[in-house]
Amino acid sequence: ERLELEVNGTADDYFYLIQAWIKCGELKRATLAFEKMESIGVPLRVRTLAAMTRAHARSGNLAVAGTMVQRMKDMNLHPSSIYDLSALLEYYIKMTPVSSSSYSTSTAPPASYPADDTGATTTQRTSSNPSQERVREIWRAIEYQLQRQDSASTTVLSNTSFSYRIYLTFLVNKVHDLDSAAELIDKMVVKNISPELERYQKTALSVLQRLMKHGYFTEVTMLLGQKNAALARVTPQNVWGNLMEACMARNENQTARWVYNDMIRYGIPPSVKCKKMFSELQQLGGTTDRADPTVAGPGHTATGNTKDETSNILNILFNRQPKPVLS
């Protein structure tokens, strides 16, 4: 079979072989198959080059990944699927150095993609960091494809979640553009797309902590509540305490109360620290969260048994306000 593949293998055959080696963790064998494919004149396809780009970028071979990207350019191959575009996204994110300042975004779509159905395009501005600007261009191309593809497809959803996760991490941890990150989170919630941070605890904690540090409490609670609170249920107790503490430090006392209620709602046992802070909030007065005892937790007064009162309570607890103004 192997000899037959070497003699008669098509571009698709080699793509699946290379993908199989990559999934088995055999990047060296995948590279040998790629080189054999070239040597016998099998045409290179964009998805094969994208797969090799992704594999080498993940393994840290950025120079080799870069040669794959350059071949796409030389051959005038343009990735169009979300899967292929996300491979380029991952490569350029790895090529982008960590920034110490925020980066103002451009909302213009990439020049190679139409801005609307008329085919009009928009001129882009340049960036002092080409890799950073390239990341944003690729992201806009991914968003453009999302509008064109069937988002209900399992494969598309998986590729989309991956793309949102790495782009969110890029905005928060690499370029520190938290305003754009907040807008991205809003889009995810509206589209009901989860970045599946619950599967990547280290990444999740770094994203949550930076957002908390800078007062993006609404966005933190949005991330925690996605996919039936999948992230909230695996977030360590101390992170919840840090979130309550950060809210109180910025005088966002009502938000701190919401955080405490969310802990109870998602089955996270409040720590002694959280209970103490909630007690302090109750002593400070202001809005009192009244709810059923099964939701309220320690410190709540279980009153308001009528339908109207219950409705008002739920409105207070769960109709969150837009992003807080940073102090």
pLDDT in tens, 211-260: 999 999 999 999 999 999 999 999 999 999 999 999 999 999 999 999 99
pLDDT reported for residue 139:
96
Please state, for a pLDDT cut of 70, what percent of the chain lies above it: 74
Please state, for a pLDDT cut of 90, what percent of the chain lies above it: 65
Instruction: Provide the pLDDT confidence category of residue 314 given band limits of 50, 70 and 90.
Output: very low
Q: Quick check: 4 pLDDT over 70?
A: no
The arithmetic mean of pLDDT across residues 21-50, rounded, is 94
Instruction: Please state the three-class secondary structure of the chain as a single string.
Output: CHHHHHHHCCHHHHHHHHHHHHHCCCHHHHHHHHHHHHHCCCCCCHHHHHHHHHHHHHHCCHHHHHHHHHHHHHCCCCCCCHHHHHHHHHHHHHHCCCCCCCCCCCCCCCCCCCCCCCCCCCCCCCCCCHHHHHHHHHHHHHHHHHHHCCCCCHHHHHHHHHHHHHHHHHHHHHCCCHHHHHHHHHHHHHHCCCCCHHHCHHHHHHHHHHHHHCCCHHHHHHHHHHHHHHHHHHCCHHHHHHHHHHHHHCCCHHHHHHHHHHHHHCCCCCCHHHHHHHHHHHHHCCCCCCCCHHHHCCCCCCCCCCHHHHHHHHHHHHCCCCCCCCC
The average confidence (pLDDT) of the chain is 81
The tens digit of pLDDT for each residue in 131-150 reads 999 999 999 999 998 887 66
The tens digit of pLDDT for each residue in 252-307 reads 999 999 999 999 999 999 999 999 999 999 998 765 543 433 333 433 444 444 44
Name which of 45-54, 147-156, 180-189 the model is least confident about: 147-156
The arithmetic mean of pLDDT across residues 22-34, rounded, is 94
